[in-house]
Structure 1
C-alpha cells in the first residue's frame, strides 16, 4: 500500500476552501509530489484562540498519521494547542512543542550550536527591568559591534536604527536600538531580546530597498537528521556556482532534537562557515527562486 503523507497549510483569509495565496505554489508542489493536504484557519487559532473552529474542516483520520505544517509562525503555546487538537483527530505534527521550540527560539537552540555560532546573550521580557539587566550583561562584548533581535526575528531591514550597534559599550545607542526594536516588533515581539556578537561575513551586495548589507548566507533543511536541501538565502547578489561543504553541519544535525528544522549558515571573511541560527522547518521560509518541486520531492523521500 503506497504511503500517505500530509502537509498542513493555512486557509486563504478570503476563501476558506483554498490555500493562503502566499503558500499556493508550495501547495501545488506538495500535491504534485504525492502529498495529501489539509487546511486550517490560522486567524481562528491565533487571534480567536479557538483551535476547534480553526480545524473544523479537518475530519478525524482512521489511523494515526504524521503531518508536516507549512505556514506562518506560531508561538510555542499556539503550536502546542494546534498539535494536541490535531492529535485528537489522529494527525500528529512532525515536531512536538519542545522540538518546535528547540529550533524556533534562538536561546533554546544554543544548547546545540553554541560552539558554532556568534557569542550570544539574552533576557526574557518577563520583568520590567529586563532591558537594564541586558545592557549590564552586554559589557561582556566590550566595544565590539553587536546585533539586536528578539528570540525569533530581527528588524534587519531597519539595520541602522533597530538592529546594528557599532559599539556595545555605547549604552545610550544600545538602549535606543533595543527600544526601536521593541516598538517595531510591537505585539509580535517574541519572548525577549537577544544580543549577538557581530562577525564580519563575506560580502554579497547591498539590499536594493533597505540598504542592508547582504552576506553570503545559505539555508539548509534537515528532515529526520537528513539534509534535504541547501539554498541561497538571498535572491540578490552573485553567489558562487558551487555550494559550501556541509559535512560538518550534517554531523552536528544528528544531535539536534527536532525532526524537521532549518539551519542558516554564513561564510566569514576568513573563509570559515558559521551557523547563524536554527529554525523549525515548518515555519522557515523556502528562499526565493528555490525549486519547490525539488524541495517537496526530497521531503517526501525522507519521511517514513
Structure 2
C-alpha cells in the first residue's frame, strides 16, 4: 500500500472486522509506524467516522456507534452474501420498491462484473429462498454456476464423494438442497448443503430432463419419501381452497375427475394423522391404508367417550 488514502480505507476495513484492534497490529498490517496510524485515525474522524481510543491494559482503537452509517467495507464473499440476501430475502412481492430493493440496486452498481455475474447465477439457480440464510458463499456460488452452465460437479458429502449433474438449488423450511442426478446411484437425489463441505466443477456437461421441477421433487421427497406410511384421502372441496388451507408440506393435492381433491401424504404416526384429518373443515374419505381407517375409528371412539363423560348427569 503506497498511498495514504488506500491505507485509510484499509484501516476502516480492519476496524469493521473487529471490536477492538491494538495500535501495534494496525501498524503491522498497514506496514507503517504508530505515528502514521494516528494520522489515519484522525483522517477517519475528520470524515465524521467515529473511532474511539481505548486506553489501559487492552488498549487500541474501535469504531463507535453514531447517528450516521459510515462507509461499509466488504470482502468479495461478504458482498455476494449481502446481495443474495437482499435479492432472495423478500417474503412477498411489493408494488413499490422497498429499502431492500434500493439497497440491492446500489450494491449492484458497484459490484465488479465477476461478482455481479455470480450473484445473478445464484438467484437464477435457487428457488424458494425467501427467509433462508445463505450457506457458505464459495460453495453455493460454485453450485449455482454449475446449475446455470449445466456442468457436472464433484461434491464432498458426509456420506462420501459424489459426482452430480446439478438441476437446481431449492430452499425449504430454512434449509438449502441441491437436486441433481447422482452418477454413482444413477438416480435423481437431493443433498442438504450443510452436509456438503466442498464442490468443484468437472469438464462434463449435461442436459436436465425435460419438464423436471426441482422444487416439486424436494417437496414430494420430504412429504412422502421420509415417512413409513403413505396415505390417500379424498377431500370434499376444490383444489384452490385446499391449497389455500393446507401447507405445501402436508402432501400432494390433485383434482379428482368426479369432483373433490385427492390428498396423497406421508405419516409416521397414523393416530396423529387421524386427529389432523378430523380437524379439517371438509368431509373426507380415507382411500388407503386400512390402518388409517382403524386409527380414525379409534379416535372417533375416544371423542365419543369424551362427549359422553362431558354431558351432565340426568
Q: Which has the higher contact order (CA 8 A, sep 6+)?
A: 1
Could you say which structure has the higher helix fraction?
2
Please say whether Structure 1 and Structure 2 have the same fold, judged by a TM-score greater than 0.5: no
TM-score (norm 1): 0.25
